[in-house]
Amino acid sequence: MSFTPIPSLWAVRHEEDRPAMIPEEAVSRVLASTDIVQLIGSYLPLRPAGRYHKALCPFHTEKTPSFIVNPERQIFHCFGCGEGGDSIGFLMRQQRLSFPEAVRFLADRAGINLPARFSGASGPGRGEEGRLQLLEIHNAAAGFFRQQLAHQTDGAAGRAYLRGRGIPESVVEQFGLGCAPASWEGLLRHLLRRDFSKEQVERAGLAIARKEGGGAYDRFRNRLMIPICDSSGKVIAFGGRTLDGSDPKYLNSPETSIYKKGAHLFGLHLAASSIRDRGLVIVVEGYFDLIALHIHGFQHSVAVLGTALTAEQIALLRRYTTRALLVFDPDAAGIAAARRSVESLLNSGLDWRVILLPEGKDPDRFLQERGASGFSDALEGSKDLMEFLLDRRVSGFDLISPDGQAAAVNAVLPLLAVVENEITRQRYVEKLARRVALSNDAIVRELNLQMKGRRQDLMPPTLRPKSLPSTEWRLIHLALHHPGAAHRVREAIRPDEMEDQTLRRICESAVMGSRTASGPVSLAMEEPEVQRVLSELLATDLGEYEGEDAIERTLSDCLGWVKARGERRAGEELQQQMKEAERAGDYITLERLQARLLSLKKDQAHRAVQSGREGRGLV
C-alpha cells in the first residue's frame, strides 16, 4: 500500500529529529528492502496463523495473542491495545528510536548506504545522544573486550579464570565474553579513536568523569566482561567479574536509555528458540549459573541479572512460554529473591514452580558436582506456591508446634488473598490446612477476612467494548482492500466529505493518494492516531463479506449514505442561507438559492429511485 504524506505534518512532527529531512524515496527504498516478519520475528516469537503471524503484544499485557503481522501489507497491528504501523514504527516503539534512527537502523540492516546528512544522527563524535548511538558504542566496546581477552598478555588472567571454571572456547565465543584491561583508560582511548566523544562514552556508562581535571576513566578495569544483550542480541550493557579480588566482586553497567536492569533477561537472545520448542523456561540468578546451564545442555535457561523477577521480565517470558521453573540459591539472599519473585508471579499467567537447591550449592556448583542428570532430578522436585512458602528454609516456622502453625498461616494468608483464580486458591487452602493440621473452614474464614474490602481492587481492568465500525470506516476499509471499490470511492466522493478527521486523512493519503505515489511511504510519518486506525484497517481482511455481491451491496450502501448525508447537510445550509437572504430582502439571491435547493432535491429523488431499482435487480 502506498501513501502520500502531507509535507507540513512531516516537518512539524520530526523537526526535532533531523539535521535534514530524509527523502521519501530513501524511506521507500528502506521499507521495500525490509521483511517485517523477519524483523519482528527477531524480537518476538511469531507463530503462523493463516495468512498472518501472531504473538503476544509487546506493548501491553495480554494472555491471548492479539498482535498480528501481515506480510502482504508489511504492517503490524494489535487488536488489544490498538498499536500498529510498519517496520519503522515497530522499531521506534520497541527500541525507542527516533524516526531517522529507525530508518538508519533498517538501512544498515539491508546494506543500503544513506547520505550522511540523512543518517539520523549528527555523527558519533558530536555529542548528540540517541539510542542507536548507544548501541553502536556498546557494540564497539564488546569488540574491544573480546580483543583484549585474546591478547597474549592482557587477556591471560581472563583466560585462566575461564579455564578454571571449565568454560570451553565455544561457549566463550557464544556469549561474547571478553576482558577489560587493568589500565585506567584503555577502553576510553579505543572509543575516542573510533570517533566517539568522552561525553558519549560517559552517557553509555562505560566511563566515569574525573572529579578534577575534566578527564574520565574506564568504569571496568581488570575484569572479565560479560555482555548483556536485548532479546534481538544487541549489546546494551555489561557485567564485569573482578580478576584481581577487588571489590565489588561483580560490577554492572548503570541504567541508560537502552538498558533497564529489571526489564531484560540475560541470555534470552540465545535461549528464545529453545524455550519455544520446549514450552518451558528455567530461570536462575547469576551470569555463570546461566552459562553453566547452557554448557550442560539446558539451553532453555535465562538469568534475572541479580534482581528478583520483575513484572517486566515476566511479561518478556510470557512472549515465549507459559511454564517457568525458578532455581534459587538456598542462602538467605537467594530465598529472599525467590520470595519476592513468587509475589510478582501471582496472577502473572505463568504456570511456575520453584526449585531450592541443597545447602551451599548454586546451580553452577551443583552442575559441576552432579552433572546434568543430577540437575534434572532436582528440577523434578520443584515446589508450588504453598510447598515453597511452607518450606522451613523459607518460612523458618516449626509446623509441629501450635505457635509455628499459627505463624505460618498468618504469613501465608496475605499472599493467598491476592490469588485471583478461585480453584487455585481453594487448592492452596486445602494444602495449607493439611500442613498445619487445621480445618479448611477455619482457614477459609480467616482468608475471607483478609480479602474483605479488596475484591474490587483484585478485579482486573476490563477492556472497553469496541463500538461497531462506522459507515466511513467500512467505506475506507473496502477501498483499501478491493481495487474496484477504491476506484469507485475515488470517483464518487471527496476526502472533505468524511466527517472523521482521522479517516479523512487516511482517505487523502491512502485512497486518493494511491494513484500517484511511487512507492511505500512509512506509516511512522503519520500522526499516532492515523497509524493506529490505518494499521487496523489494513490488518482487518474482507472475511466478513460473503463474496463479491456482498461487497458490492455494502459499498453501494456506504457511498449512498455518505452522499445522502452530504446532500442533506447541503440542503440544510441552503435553507439557512435562504432565511438570511429573505430577512435581508435580497430576493435575487433567494431565488437563486431556491433553484439550487430544488435541483438538489431532484438529484436526491433520482438517486433514491436508482437505488430502489438496483436493490430489486431492475438495472
What would the DSSP string read from start to end of 65-81? --EEEETTTTEEEETTT
State which of 48-57, 166-175, 415-424 shows the largest mean pLDDT: 166-175
pLDDT tens-digit map of 106-156: 998 888 888 765 554 444 333 334 788 899 999 999 999 999 999 999 999
Taking 60 as the threshold, does the pLDDT of residue 16 lie above it?
A: no
Closest CA to 136 of 123, 149, 152: 123
User: Is residue 611 very low, low, confident or very high in pLDDT (cuts 50, 70, 90)?
Assistant: low
Q: E-strand spans in 258-382?
A: 281-284, 301-303, 323-328, 351-356
In contact, 439 and 430? CB cutoff 8 Å: no
Segment 183-205 shows an average pLDDT of 95
pLDDT tens-digit map of 548-596: 888 888 888 888 888 778 777 777 777 888 888 888 888 888 888 888 8
**Cell numbers that stand for 176 in this block:** 561474547
Cα 608 versus chain centre, distance: 50
Closest CA to 201 of 183, 185, 212: 185
pLDDT tens-digit map of 356-394: 888 768 899 999 999 999 999 999 989 887 788 788 777
Taking 50 as the threshold, does the pLDDT of residue 461 lie above it?
A: no
Q: E-strand spans in 167-280?
A: 178-180, 207-209, 216-218, 223-229, 235-242, 250-252
Mean pLDDT value across the chain: 82
Query: How much is the pLDDT for 299?
Result: 97
CB atoms within 10 A of CB 375: 21
259, HSE (Cβ side, Cα atoms, 13 Å):
25
Taking 60 as the threshold, does the pLDDT of residue 273 lie above it?
A: yes
Taking 70 as the threshold, does the pLDDT of residue 490 lie above it?
A: yes
**Cβ neighbours of residue 543 closer than 8 Å, sequence gap 6 or more:** none
Query: How much is the pLDDT for 128?
Result: 35
Edge-to-edge strand ranges of the sheet holding 75-78 = 47-49, 52-55, 67-70, 75-78, 84-85
| Residue for grid cell 511512522 | 524
Cis peptide before 248 (omega within 30 of 0): yes
Q: How far is CA 391 from CA 234, 377, 412, 439, in A?
A: 40, 19, 12, 20
pLDDT tens-digit map of 532-551: 888 888 888 777 777 788 88
Query: How much is the pLDDT for 456?
Result: 37
Q: CA–CA separation, 217 vs 188, rounded Å?
A: 7
User: How many percent of the chain have pLDDT more than 90?
Assistant: 33
Taking 90 as the threshold, does the pLDDT of residue 336 lie above it?
A: no
Q: How far is CA 70 from CA 46, 84, 619, in A?
A: 11, 11, 39
pLDDT tens-digit map of 496-539: 888 888 888 888 888 886 433 444 567 877 788 888 888 888 88
120 vs 354, higher pLDDT: 354
| Residue for grid cell 498445619 | 436
Segment 450-465 shows an average pLDDT of 42
Query: How much is the pLDDT for 68?
Result: 93
- Rounded to two decimals, the pTM is 0.65
In contact, 294 and 171? CB cutoff 8 Å: yes
In contact, 344 and 312? CB cutoff 8 Å: no
